[in-house]
A and B are shown apart, each in its own frame.
Chain A
Amino acid sequence: MSGSLLFQSLVLGILLGGLYALLAAGLTLYFGVMRVVMIAHAAFLVLAAYLAWDVHERFGVDPLLSLVVTVPLFFLAGVGFQRLLIARLRPASVTMMSVLLTFAVALVIEGALGFVYSGTQRRVQLSYSAASIEVLGAQVAVVKLIAFGLAAFSLLALYLLLTRSRFGQALRATIQHPQAARLIGIDTDRVAGYGFGLGLATAAIGGTALSLDSTIYPSLHWHWIGPLMAIIVVGGLGSIPGAAIAAMVLGIVQSLLQLPLGTTWAQTVFYLALFATLLVRPQGFFGGRLAQRF
């Protein structure tokens, strides 16, 4: 195995890890604000990818332009989803029941995609899909770089929003202690709704990024949800920086493990990491007190 291959795989792993990080950030946000296990997160991701593909196919414009519509749309859908469906679950059993509810939503989205777009695999045809630039001997595909840039930019925006804005403070307060947050006058229901909307908005961005360089088909989301769930547990449930770091680490490890193990076995890294985390440090490696309570 040559050094250049190792470096190339490392670069590919970083690019992949960036996308995982953005998606895992959204997934852990739902859990943080609502204690909701959002199985449908990846289904929304695939939905956004289909919308990007459709926009490109129908109007011939760059799929990135679909973000202008899908991000606000998914944010509103997230707020509506939380207020109309999640909020109706009994608080005592919300974590468990949300699995069932969002599982159903995932199936509905998958079925609807199959109904509207058929089961045929789709891929966005871009003039620059095969273009790449050379960085220190490694080839970096332009589409992967765009996807990584989108993910990095969104993560940074999310980080600034959560740490620098009043809304972010309210959201973090809601994550840390909902009761105390209510006592100091935070409308936790509204904050939770916005938090959910933010989570879905990450799915919109992630889906568009995904559509640039991957084949999509309605049942693709099952492929994503497993690794993402594993990432947020390893990172510590509810911890956004934890999810981002775990995503990056596991993305790189997966990419490197493909060299000796092959594609089939490299996928198991997520589940091995999940088992190891639950055995050694059930609250996750970067999670705080929140995860310890579960």
Chain B
Amino acid sequence: MNARTALRLGCLAGVSALLLTACSGGAAGGDDASDPITVGISLPLTGDFSEPGKGVQRGYEAWAAAVNATGGLLGRQVELRILDDQSNADRVVADYESLIAQDQVDLVFGPFSTRLVVPSARVAQEYEMLFVEPAGAAAEVFEQGFDNLFYAAPAIADDHYNHLAETIIAMPDGQRPQTAAYAAMDDPFAQGTAYGLKAKLEAAGIRTVVDEVYPPNTTDFSSIAAQIADSQADIVVGGTQYQDAVNLIVALRQLAYQPKLAAFSTAPTNPEFAEAIGGGTEGILSPTGYTPEAPYPSNVDFVQRYTAQFGNPPTEDEANAYTTGQVVAAAVQAVGCAEQGECQQRLIDWLRTNTVDTVVGPLSWDAQGRPQSAHLIQQYVDGGIRIVLPQDTAEAEFAYPKATW
């Protein structure tokens, strides 16, 4: 490239940049009743979190389509402005800065995962914007002192097993398990689920006989399994992601260990799980934040619309994004405004004190934005995975003790 071409290209780029800013400056900023409500979002559409990131995008799009099809929000259409942060925490900060300050979006929704939620929530806090997020269940999200953040899912990691804990504690004396073994991956989310249950069971007098933490990427679980098998614990709880649960279960079966109850986070909700552990799934428990079969009225509508739009039923990522939309929409409808400035504080105040009906059930929050519900508990029953707890949404009877594996 010679100097002249470079100069020309430079000029062209400069002019285009000016034109672009001029255009976007003209489009945003109006609060006219006929103007669309713009929602600024940054998502990891490429990079490490691209798979769940795209799921969240589909959920947001499904929400916008549903709102616009039913007359919009406050009579105005909704327009999403989605940027790609490439799963990069620096990028996500720049994205929200520009969405709020330059594009003057009326509302913001959160990105995916703790690593991106924390820095972007900080930006929203600086601009005093309401920040509802669809992912970021780890305890640290709620320990940063945010007063604008709300997590749009039933429960943070530590509370995933609440329904199971209640059920175990309520068992009659002769039946109730006496001892428990815990194995958790060294990961804030996976550990949170197992330790949340551990704290509740210990408080109820169920003795912890094994408590092991293993690094992510561990593939040999035979030693952990040997300790659990030797302890003959009545129940085994795994703070797991996916492969670690598969490896741990196979190792436990190799040692002929038969617990009365086995609960693992995340892995059992994966469609490949049953095949991966080679059968013997009967009775395995898992918490889940969402099921398309949930009977909440807005969920029936969501599943129908989503399936028509994308050709398959939604999963947890899509549902949590849709929930985020529902939560913000409920506040906007109640308060009657959607713009930057003093309106945002009114939205935040409204959410602090109210309960919102969503596709994952009714949600309310504490002062740090922790949702106050618990996850549904699923169990493998007759080869299929069914909701067994809480009883009012159960699709099948909670089986205890579990069948042998």
Q: Give chain A's interface residues, CB within 8 Å of chain B.
A: 2, 4-5, 8-9, 12, 16, 121, 123, 125-127, 129-132, 134, 139, 141, 143-144, 213-217, 220, 223, 255, 258-259, 262-264, 266
18 A–B contacts, CB within 8 A, in A order: A9-B223, A9-B226, A12-B223, A123-B247, A139-B254, A139-B255, A141-B222, A141-B254, A141-B255, A213-B250, A217-B217, A255-B222, A262-B212, A263-B213, A263-B215, A263-B223, A264-B213, A266-B223
A-contact 0/1 string along B213-252, CB 8 Å cutoff: 1110111101110110110000000000011001100110
Cα-based distance from A263 to B243 in the complex (angstroms): 16
B227 and A130: CB pair below 8 A? no
Which of B214, B223, B230, B278 contacts A130 (CB under 8 A)?
B278
Please name all residues of chain B whose beta carbon is closer than 8 Å to the beta carbon of A131 when the two chains form the complex: 254
* Contact B276 A125, beta carbon cutoff 8 Å: yes
Closest chain A CB from B256 CB (angstroms): 5
Contacts A12-B222, A12-B226: A264 and B215 contacting too (C-beta < 8 A)? yes
Instruction: Tell whether B280 is near chain A: CB-to-CB under 8 Å.
Output: yes
Q: How far is the CA of A258 from the CA of B226 in the complex (A)?
A: 10
Asked if A127 meets B278 with Cβ closer than 8 Å, knowing A214-B219, A264-B186, the reply is: yes
> Given A5-B226, A139-B229, A255-B223, A126 and B278 touching (CB < 8 A)?
yes
Q: Which residues of A contact B223 (CB under 8 A)?
A: 9, 12, 255, 258-259, 263, 266
Q: How long is the Cα–Cα vector from A266 to B215 in the complex, in angstroms?
A: 11
CB contact between B254 and one of A121, A132, A258, A262 (< 8 Å): that residue:
A132
Whether B218 contacts A263 by the Cβ 8 Å rule is yes
CB distance B247 to A263 under 8 Å?
A: no
| Interface residue? B253 (CB, 8 A) | yes
Asked whether A139 lies within 8 Å of B275 as measured between CB atoms, the reply is no
Distance A125 CA – B247 CA, assembled complex (angstroms): 11
Instruction: Select the residue from B186, B217, B246 with max chain A CB neighbours within 10 A.
Output: B217
Given A121-B242, A123-B246, A214-B247, CB of A132 within 8 Å of CB of B255: yes
How does the 8 Å CB contact mask read for B246-271 relative to A, with 1 for contact and 0 for none?
11001101111000000000000000
B184-221 vs A, CB cutoff 8 Å, 1 = contact: the mask equals: 00100000000000000000000000001111011110
Number of residue pairs A-B, CB distance < 8 angstroms: 89
Minimum Cβ distance to chain B for residue A236 (Å): 26
A126 contacts across to B, CB distance below 8 A:
278
Who on chain A is nearest to B222 by CB? A12
- Taking CB atoms, residues of chain B closer than 8 Å to A215 are 219, 243, 246-247
B220 touches A16 (CB 8 A): yes
**How far is B275's CA from A130's CA once the two chains are assembled, in angstroms?**
13
Chain A residue at minimum C-beta to C-beta distance from B280: A130
Which residues of B lie under 8 Å from residue A125 when comparing CB positions? Answer: 275-276, 278
B250 partner residues in chain A, CB cutoff 8 A: 129-130, 213
Question: In the assembly, what is the distance between CA of A220 and CA of B215, in Å?
Answer: 13
Q: Give the residue among B220, B223, B229 with the most A Cβ atoms within 10 A.
A: B223
Closest 3 CB pairs of A and B: A130-B253, A141-B254, A5-B230
**A130: B residues at CB distance < 8 A:** 250, 253-254, 277-278, 280, 405
Contact B230 A4 (CB under 8 A): yes
- What CA separation (Å) do A184 and B276 show in the bound complex? 57
Q: Which residues of B contact A141 (CB under 8 A)?
A: 222, 251, 254-255
Which residues of A are found within 8 Å of B253, using beta-carbon distances? 130
Assembly CA distance A130 to B229 (angstroms): 14
Chain A hits for B186, CB < 8 A: 264
**In the assembled complex, which residues on chain B have CB atoms less than 8 Å from the CB atom of A134?**
256
Output the least CB separation between A258 and chain B (Å): 4
B222 touches A263 (CB 8 A): no
B226, A223: Cβ atoms closer than 8 Å: no
A121 to chain B, nearest CB (A): 4
In angstroms, Cα B218 to Cα A134, docked, is: 26
A213 to B218 alpha-carbon distance, docked (Å): 13
* A244 CB, min distance to chain B CBs, angstroms: 20
A213–B219 alpha-carbon span in the complex (Å): 9
Q: Judging by beta carbons under 8 Å apart, are A8 and B226 in contact?
A: yes
Besides A8-B230, A130-B254, 18 other CB < 8 A contacts?
Answer: A5-B226, A8-B229, A12-B226, A126-B278, A129-B250, A129-B278, A130-B278, A130-B280, A132-B254, A139-B254, A141-B222, A215-B246, A217-B217, A223-B217, A259-B223, A262-B212, A262-B214, A264-B186
The answer to whether B219 touches A220, judged by C-beta atoms less than 8 angstroms apart, is yes
Asked whether, in the complex, the Cβ of A263 is within 8 Å of the Cβ of B224, the reply is yes
Q: Which residue of the partner chain A has the closest CB to B246? A: A123
Given A8-B230, A139-B229, A139-B254, do A262 and B220 touch, yes or no (CB 8 Å)?
Answer: no
